[in-house]
């Protein structure tokens, strides 16, 4: 399906049973809540989705479930995070075969590729599929920065490279990329704690994490900010910020799954070697969530702004 790289696109968590199987009913409940809130796309198998622990067959099941619930209302986008170029090409082709509408593509995993190697890797995947591609640029966590010069080379040769998930944590990159590439490169912020700031600076969308637990609040901040209704967006964002900070942590999966439990949109189950939070850190996160739930704001009407 054709779609635009804009709006709020949740990086969905993967739901597991206590027996470490996919919990598809809970996954589908969450997807339905996202769609009801007004998200514009569904991203599967990212870091938050515990992609490195999933089998190819499980990823196929998640795509099928998301497509069933979506019913064409929002594109299903599959993350590609592989160690080899061949593996990435095969994953991209498999995603297309299972019905995905787009790809989110990371640089090579584990091996810290040079700029030239990274660009050649991206180009190889782009040449192997006609699906539109969102490049995930997260040097903080993955050690490889996709620079404007690298984008310049890709955008000349790869029409399917259409967007960037901007996660450098430098909000000025929104302006930097827009000034250089105009609308040729759509910009989606990938850092929850810079969500409103990035949208106000002109980002086209937001690949969000806490949206998994708070879909309506996330989409409301996006829609109100894009519409210039900052006085309405800011109080929601100020309330949201302590929760959004749970996303910028090595334990973001466990953190966000605890928040999903609080809102009835998930369970705490993670796949080993991850383990649920314990001790003082668990209590700290639960307190952040408790305070947020106790002061959860009433939202203005926002869906007509999407």
Tell me the pLDDT tens digit for each residue of 60-105. 999 999 999 999 999 999 999 999 999 999 999 999 999 999 999 9
Report residue 110's pLDDT band, with 50, 70 and 90 as the boundaries: confident
pLDDT at 116 exceeding the cut of 90: yes
Report helix, strand or coil for 79. Answer: strand
Answer whether 231's CB lies under 8 Å from 280's CB. Answer: no
Contacts 24+ apart (CB under 8 A), 271-277: 271/14, 271/16, 271/20, 271/50, 271/53, 272/20, 274/50, 274/53, 277/251
**Average pLDDT of the residues in 177-194:** 98
Lookup result for tokens 């790809």: 103
Answer whether residue 18 shows pLDDT above 90.
Answer: yes
Domain boundaries, the chain: 7-305
How do the residues of the chain divide into helix, strand and coil, expressed in percent and rounded to 5?
50, 10, 35
Residue 52, CB half-sphere, CA atoms under 13 Å: how many?
A: 12
Asked if residue 16 has pLDDT above 90, the reply is yes
What average pLDDT does the segment 32-39 reach? 98
Report the alpha-carbon distance of residue 138 to residue 45 in Å, rounded. Answer: 16
Residue 1 has pLDDT above 90, yes or no: no
Evaluate whether the domain defined by 7-305 bears CATH number 3.30.56.10: no
Rounded to an integer, the average pLDDT of 266-279 is 97
Is residue 282 predicted with pLDDT exceeding 90?
A: yes
Neighbours of 75 (CB within 10 A): 24
The mean pLDDT value of the chain amounts to: 97
């Amino acid at each position: 399906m054709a779609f635009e790289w804009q709006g709020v696109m949740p990086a969905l968590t993967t739901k597991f049973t206590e027996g470490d199987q996919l919990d598809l009913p809970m996954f589908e409940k969450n997807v339905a809540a996202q769609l009801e809130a007004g998200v514009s796309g569904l991203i599967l198998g990212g870091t938050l989705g515990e992609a490195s622990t999933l089998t190819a067959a499980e990823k196929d099941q998640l795509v099928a479930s998301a497509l069933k619930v979506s019913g064409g209302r929002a594109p299903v986008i599959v993350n590609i995070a592989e160690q080899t170029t061949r593996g990435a090409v095969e994953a991209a082709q498999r995603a297309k075969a299972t019905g995905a509408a787009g790809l989110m593509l990371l640089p090579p995993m584990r091996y810290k590729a040079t700029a030239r190697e990274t660009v050649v890797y991206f180009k190889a995947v782009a040449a192997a599929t006609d699906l539109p591609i969102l490049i995930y640029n997260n040097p903080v966590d993955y050690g490889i920065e996709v620079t404007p010069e690298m984008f310049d080379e890709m955008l000349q040769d790869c029409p399917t490279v259409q967007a960037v998930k901007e996660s450098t944590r430098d909000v000025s990159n929104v302006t930097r990329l827009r000034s250089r590439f105009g609308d040729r490169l759509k910009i989606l912020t990938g850092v929850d704690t810079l969500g409103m700031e990035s949208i106000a600076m002109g980002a086209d969308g937001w690949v969000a994490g806490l949206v998994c637990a708070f879909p309506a609040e996330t989409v409301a901040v996006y829609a109100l900010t894009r519409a210039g209704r900052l006085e309405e967006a800011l109080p929601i964002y100020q309330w949201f910020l302590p929760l959004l900070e749970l996303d910028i942590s090595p334990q973001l999966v466990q953190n966000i799954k605890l928040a999903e439990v609080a809102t009835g949109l998930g369970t705490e189950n993670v796949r080993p070697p991850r383990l649920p939070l314990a001790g003082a850190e668990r209590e700290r996160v639960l307190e952040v969530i408790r305070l947020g739930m106790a002061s959860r704001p009433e939202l203005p009407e926002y869906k007509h702004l999407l």
